[in-house]
Structure 1
Amino acid sequence: MTANRPRIAATLIMRNEARCIARCLDSVRPHVDAMVVLDTGSTDDSVAIARQCGAQVHHLDWPGDFSAARNHVLALADADWTLVIDADEWIAQGGETVRDWCDGPPRLGALCIRSSFDLPQQAGPALPSTRSWIARLLPRGVRYAGRIHEQPVSDLPVERTTLILDHDGYEDAQAAGKRDRNTPMLLAALQGDPENPYLLYQLGKEAETARDYGRAADWYDQASARTPDGAPWTHGLLIRRLHCLGQSGASAKAIAIAGQQMAHWQESPDFFFVLGNLAMDRALAEPASALTEWLPLAATAWERCLEIGERPDLDGSVEGRGSHLARHNLDVIRQQLALLGG
């Protein structure tokens, strides 16, 4: 810690994270003054690895409440600023900016978290990633609320940072175990707060990662009906809802919703990318209209993606939908249109 500068700590809670804990801690060590780990019952080598990486390791029996665990380790860290990170995340970019950012006034720092995920029949070594903005750089005194998918509670303003975390916890190899834990906790939380749109949204995401698209679409429908205007997850919710409706055979409903929402998302490549996919679904369902209506709509939608370009600032955006993914789809459909038209 430099004299007269704020003390910065990284905190995380873990259980059986030997696979990834060193990667996480090695990425944050150069940018903080302390790393404080709360172990909730690891039976693998997680604790030994964390200590080898230079972390302080404390123990707590799992309280069944993520906020309680987060708040416990925040108190143990006793820092002016805390970078809250998960064991399956690591700093990919921007770590060198953390100290200067923490020299500023108290506010919540939102980080870009890039979560890679598997797709059925995914080709090639690179997995797509979705980008979310979450407040994880917290000044002293801020605490969490919520048993699961906990969020910091504060009246302080939220400011986006240049810090980017990569996250592999949604890949198939890791996601199944999380679903077994998360879904029951979310359902229990929903019993106490049945109108909470964020819990409904998170239940949809859990179902989507299990590729139960019909169930996911139902959760997303419920979340959409209750989400207030301007909620930070609005964009991600809409895109996931449209995608899951299409995947569950309800592309006509999804097209209708997209028509209602189009004016609001003229600068979202994700919106037009999914619209193109839905148009392709309709082309298969209505072959008589494919050449005159649905294939041209798909091409126009993917052209719009390329006109907009990448929008990493949009919560829930998927990398490539404003560039190579749209370009690939557009090349394929242009070939199809040329063959059919010829």
Structure 2
Amino acid sequence: MKKATISLCMIVKDEEANLPKCLESIKDWVDEIIIVDTGSQDRTREIAKEYGALVLEEPWRDDFSLARNAGLERARGEWILFLDADEEVLHENLSCLAYLAHTDMDGFFLHILNFDDQGNCIKQPSLRLFRNHPRHRFKGAIHEQIIDSILEQNPQAKFGVLDIKIKHFGYQGKMVAQKEKTKRNLAILKAEYERGPKTGFLLFNLATEYLRSGEFPQALRYFNEAERLTSPALSFAPLLGKKKIQTLMLLNQYQEALETIDRYLKLYPDYTDLVFLKATLFYSLGRFTEALELYRACLALGEAPYQYVSEKGVGTFKAEVGVREALALLERERLCHHLLPGISLCMIVRDEERNLARCLDSAAQVVDEIVVVDTGSEDRTREIAQSYGAQVYTFPWMNDFALARNFALRLARYEWILVLDADETLRTEEHKRLRQLIATAGELQGFYLKVVNYFGWGDPEDFVVDAICRLFRNKPEFNFSGTLHEEISQSIISYSGPSSLAPVEIHIDHWGYLKRAGLQKKSYRNTALLTSWLNFQPGDGYARYALGVELFQQSDFRGALEEFYKAFTALKGSGILADLYFKMAVCCLELKEFQQGLKIVRQGQEAFPDFTSLWYLEGMLEFHLGNWPGARQAWEKALQMGDPPWYRYTFPYGIGSFRTAAALAEGLEKMGWLEEAEELLEAFLKKRQGLSTLLLPFCRLLVQRYDTVSCLFRLYSLSLPSCFRESLLLAEVFYRLDRPDLGQIFLQKAKEFLEQSPLKSLFLKLAGLQLGLAGQCCIQGLKSGGFSPALKTVWDKISALLEGVAQGEMFNIGIQ
């Protein structure tokens, strides 16, 4: 029986991990293997040769077609099959390759199954098998295609489909590698765009890469351009429509997304993915009846025909899940029509297994129900929530926090709603007061609660206070707004007036800022989201402010200040103007633009005369300008004012007391007035205020003024230390002041306190400090004494131990 010959052609670079699996899956079905290597530094070429491949070494020229065509030039088979190294041919139906010897087709589409880390599978037809002809060559620097050259050679060329499946696992894991790949693809596509011509397919690919990189306004721009140049008959046109719709949804342009879905459904009525997208959008918007009808329509259609790029399950099991969830939500809505007296706790969560139990432990006894909306957890979050009796619902994440919050509100059955995040807790001693509050609320529609944001490593006084509306009546007209940093107070005020909200000193402790590594990742994510949004809505003053805050937290003070200036005009009269003045002045301080900072501070003082933080900053700016009398006057004014009203301003705790005292004492010290500085700090230490802030400047004064015995006497006269934490603080302070003799005394005190109350976490803190001190000695030795293999070995071991201690519990105790 005659058999057609097949040449497998591939391009590779550093694929030693993937290549064997790929070649094993197809080696028995092809007649030759041609590998074009574009610069591997690993064993890729050796592995290819082990499989009998002809290996061609080609320099990488930022052009995939050039590399592909180099392989075609050497191919001798009657048919060409091309694969990538991160693909695997599934063995089922490979016997249909025998059909090639008897067909008049010019090429065949095969089924590509793209799997991601969540187990989703996108089915995609791809022309991977075609006749070997000297004029059949790939086109396009990236996302290269062969079909155009085949049609140029033979406009009547015929194409079929073979039921051969290729599993693509390149989208799994390696997030950093994926980002680098997207960055590379964008660079190649931009260069091709500049060279021209600008085809619909090129613009579609450019838009797709912008979508992958999170630059949604840019993606939408190029999808729109591609749409104008693309005939609906072209094979990629349905996918162009689907991706444009997804982009509109990510930009929160829901009405336009619905209109675009309807337009594309007229062109491709059997494209199940479009119906599923529409169902998902209605589901997210709380239109559950329409969502139910559409999920059922997906089941009636079944999986999309082979010619479409389609997500597996949209016509079967995923649609079935949609039907079940929509029915459950409709029943829930029916129950919510008649509200019950009490409180619904509403939360949105994702991968919060480490925090959620602590949050629910703090709140479960004071609320009447728990509604948890999960936006895609892959850990035990859902199970933990259900163990507390929570009603758990699924929400497809669409880069819109307000939409997710409002989804949760629709499902609340009680007259009052309390909103918490998983990294927050209530104080159980305030439960009774919270219940009394709603019982006596009268005409009030909601309350600003006192949110305490902890920043210090174990320091109970290192926090920033914020007033946020988290407790409010359950009314359909009250809704969150804001894609990021969402809030509900403006919605309540617009319906009921500013007097409908009142501050109440019930605390929400927020612990999320203690995890610094996660914070940085979250901040960069927020920056990307806000930048993308502002490309689309440059006049959004609140988004400008929010972007400035993210840059501020990243210590990009120049970038932050620029965004704050842009936001200033738009935010005049808003509730965040005081914080804007404060952060702008801090930026000027960090950038050493002291005169401009003073100008901003004084404008802010006129508008907000009770905002202590501005007088503190005035002192800092005056001091850096060398105006000591002006600095002292401003700081003394801040101390006289005390902390500002928590319900009006966001501020670090102690700005009107120990924090300003520390700044004033430093000024006094530099002016040579050591005794006055010591007396100032002593007054706050007697009240046990701001220990982690004040002990360093206080002890620095002591070692300048007294001998060792007198230093100890001064501390003991203040009853310091009285506990393990204070002992550890003093030990770290004196080591930082290069007084190891005093440091050792307080380390011994810490051990004595620990023996009285042994706790694993305290042992870890003590061990961490001692290891850290030993590590500092190693570093100093390596710097001053030159390289020593023995010292380097000790330092490496200490570093490993420190990492282990840090994983057990944070040991840095927060000296500032």
- 1:151: which partner in 2? 487
Write the deviation string for residues 6-34 of structure 1: whole angstroms up to 9, x where unpaired.
22111111111122111211111121101
How many Å separate the matches in 2 of 1:199 and 1:139? 27
How many Å separate the matches in 2 of 1:106 and 1:191? 39
- 1:98: which partner in 2? 434
- 1:254: which partner in 2? 597
How many Å separate the matches in 2 of 1:177 and 1:96? 38
- 1:162: which partner in 2? 505
How many Å separate the matches in 1 of 2:503 and 2:534? 29
Amino acid at match of 1:279: E
Q: 1:175–1:209: 8 Å Cα contact kept in structure 2?
A: no
- 1:107: which partner in 2? 445
How many Å separate the matches in 1 of 2:570 and 2:618? 23
State whether structure 2 residue 544 is matched by structure 1 residue 210: no
Return 19-28 or 258-267, whichever deviates more: 258-267
How many Å separate the matches in 2 of 1:20 and 1:297? 46
- 1:128: which partner in 2? 462
* Structure 2 CA distance for partners of 1:53 and 1:280, relative to 1, 3 Å: farther
Deviation at 1:272, TM superposition (A): 1.0
- 1:69 maps to which of 394, 404, 421: 404
Write the deviation string for residues 80-130 of structure 1: whole angstroms up to 9, x where unpaired.
111011111111474332222223235122112121235xxx8x8346322
How many Å separate the matches in 1 of 2:445 and 2:660? 37
State whether structure 2 residue 381 is matched by structure 1 residue 46: yes
* Structure 2 CA distance for partners of 1:329 and 1:23, relative to 1, 3 Å: same
* Structure 2 CA distance for partners of 1:23 and 1:144, relative to 1, 3 Å: same
State whether structure 2 residue 651 is matched by structure 1 residue 313: no
How many Å separate the matches in 1 of 2:671 and 2:608? 27
How many Å separate the matches in 2 of 1:91 and 1:138? 16
Amino acid at match of 1:324: F
SS in 2 for 1:144: coil
State whether structure 2 residue 537 is matched by structure 1 residue 193: yes
Deviation at 1:339, TM superposition (A): 5.5
- 2:606: which partner in 1? 263
* Structure 2 CA distance for partners of 1:210 and 1:95, relative to 1, 3 Å: farther
Write the deviation string for residues 199-232 of structure 1: whole angstroms up to 9, x where unpaired.
1111111111111111111111222222122x21
Return 100-109 or 203-212, whichever deviates more: 100-109
- 2:360 maps to which of 18, 25, 35: 25
State whether structure 2 residue 630 is matched by structure 1 residue 297: yes
- 1:222 maps to which of 553, 556, 566: 566
SS in 2 for 1:188: helix
Deviation at 1:192, TM superposition (A): 4.3
How many Å separate the matches in 2 of 1:111 and 1:323? 23
Q: Give me the identity figure in percent.
A: 28
SS in 2 for 1:64: coil
How many Å separate the matches in 2 of 1:261 and 1:180? 29
- 1:37: which partner in 2? 372
Amino acid at match of 2:482: G
The runs of 5 or more residues in structure 2 that have no matched partner are 1-338, 675-816
- 1:325: which partner in 2? 659
Q: 2:605–2:611: 8 Å Cα contact kept in structure 1?
A: no
Q: 1:6–1:102: 8 Å Cα contact kept in structure 2?
A: no
Amino acid at match of 1:182: N
Q: 2:446–2:502: 8 Å Cα contact kept in structure 1?
A: yes
Deviation at 1:250, TM superposition (A): 2.0
Deviation at 1:165, TM superposition (A): 1.0
- 2:577 maps to which of 216, 219, 234: 234
How many Å separate the matches in 2 of 1:138 and 1:313? 16
- 1:285: which partner in 2? none
State whether structure 2 residue 472 is matched by structure 1 residue 117: no
Deviation at 1:319, TM superposition (A): 0.5
How many Å separate the matches in 2 of 1:95 and 1:183? 37
How many Å separate the matches in 1 of 2:433 and 2:537? 38
Q: Which structure is richer in relative contact order (CA contacts within 8 A, separation 6 or more)?
A: 1
Q: Normalising to structure 1: TM-score of the pair? A: 0.86
How many Å separate the matches in 2 of 1:232 and 1:335? 38
Write the deviation string for residues 232-259 of structure 1: whole angstroms up to 9, x where unpaired.
1121111111112211232221112223
How many Å separate the matches in 1 of 2:558 and 2:635? 25
The runs of 5 or more residues in structure 1 that have no matched partner are 283-289
Two-structure CA RMSD over aligned residues (Å): 2.3
Aligned length: 322
The structure with the largest alpha-carbon Rg is 2
Return 260-269 or 20-29, whichever deviates more: 260-269
Return 28-37 or 90-99, whichever deviates more: 90-99
* Structure 2 CA distance for partners of 1:106 and 1:261, relative to 1, 3 Å: closer
